[in-house]
């Protein structure tokens, strides 16, 4: 395993939900790349940026989902995942990315990915 994949949770001030994003970093590193979605004029768009877990005051939580042997297959699965519909939340897309990654073998099977996804909170408790 060369990289770890996390779900990052950011509180949404306008709702009682978290906005999720995907964070990929080398194993045991705190710096990596955050992948997510942004809504502009009622349409979803993919976005990414460099991110440091230790310098993220708005971060509500980081949940390790699993490991990947490299980023190429996982990023390909992510790019193939259709964006959410007009009335869907961005977290729906994140779940679909992981389902596609599982089907494509892009995430290591030694992790119980589905169970870990279910444990990620949708909102603050």
Low-confidence ranges of the chain (pLDDT < 70): 1, 109-111, 125
Residue 62, pLDDT score: 95
3-state secondary structure of 96: helix
Residue 110, pLDDT score: 47
As a whole number of Å, the CA-based R_g of the chain is 14
Please, how many CA atoms are within 13 Å of residue 24, restricted to the half-sphere of its CB?
Answer: 21
Residue-wise pLDDT tens digits, 110-124: 458 888 888 898 877
In sequence order, what E strands does 16-57 have? 18-26, 31-40, 43-52
Residue 47, pLDDT score: 96
The residue written with tokens 């990023």 in the block is 75
Dihedral sign computed on CA atoms, order 68, 8, 20, 47: negative
Angle at 77 between CA 16 and CA 32, to 5 degrees: 65
Angle at 41 between CA 21 and CA 10, to 5 degrees: 25
72-80 vs 90-104: helix crossing angle, rounded to 10: 130
Residue 8, pLDDT score: 97
Q: Which pTM was predicted?
A: 0.92
Residue-wise pLDDT tens digits, 74-90: 999 999 999 999 888 89
């Amino acid at each position: 395993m060369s990289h770890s994949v996390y779900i990052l949770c950011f509180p949404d001030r306008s709702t009682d939900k978290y906005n999720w994003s995907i964070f990929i970093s080398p194993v045991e590193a705190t710096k990596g790349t955050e992948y997510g979605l942004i809504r502009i004029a009622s349409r979803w768009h993919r976005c990414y940026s460099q991110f440091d877990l230790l310098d993220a005051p708005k971060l509500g939580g980081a949940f390790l989902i699993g490991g990947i042997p490299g980023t190429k297959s996982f990023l390909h699965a992510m790019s193939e995942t259709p964006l959410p519909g007009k009335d869907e939340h961005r977290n729906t897309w994140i779940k679909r990315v992981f389902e596609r990654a599982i089907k494509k073998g892009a995430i290591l099977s030694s992790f119980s990915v589905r169970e870990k996804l279910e444990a990620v909170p949708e909102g603050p408790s």
